[in-house]
Amino acid sequence: MTVDIDYVELLTQAKKASEFSYCPYSNFPVGACVLYESKKIYTGSNVENVSYGLTLCAERNAISTAIAQGEKTKIKAIAIYSPKQVDCLPCGACRQWISEFAADDNTKIILEDENKKPYVLSLKELFPYGFKFN
């Protein structure tokens, strides 16, 4: 399914979400904005916990929000942003989560480069051999 992807707008929304981050332990805010085939977007920020391992990443927060709000279509793109890190790549757990709900291998992962321009990768590039169960 063809859906126009506005990379700059998705990054802008990810940036806004990073401002809501709860990260008193790492002081490393992250925001994510996920675009679905429905053309709806959902945002999330990282939420840390005094028991560090319970921390929720921004990407999984955004995807969980989409599910909780009844989203049934697949992910076309996800933008990820941290004010502390150029090209803020998703962790391995978040790559597996994105893969679970991705439209296909061409689903886009959008980061911001050192010139503040969108830097776009495909899920296939970032997560070529994910776990499958069949």
**Does residue 109 touch ligand THU according to CB under 6 A?**
no
Give catalytic status of residue 59 as yes or no: yes
Among the listed residues 96, 92, 91, the one whose alpha carbon sits nearest the alpha carbon of residue 132: 96
Among 90, 97, 108, 127, binds ligand THU (CB under 6 A): 90
**Does residue 86 touch ligand THU according to CB under 6 A?**
no
Residue number with CB closer to ligand THU (28 or 38) = 28
Phi-psi sector, 40: left (phi>0), alpha (psi -120 to 50), beta:
beta
Residues between 33 and 72 with contacts to ligand THU, criterion CB under 6 A = 46, 48, 55, 57-59
**Does residue 78 touch ligand THU according to CB under 6 A?**
no
3-state DSSP percent of the chain in helix, strand and coil, to 5? 30, 25, 45
- Active-site option among 48, 59, 71, 112: 59
Q: Which residues face 43 on adjacent strands?
A: 33
| Active-site residue set | 59
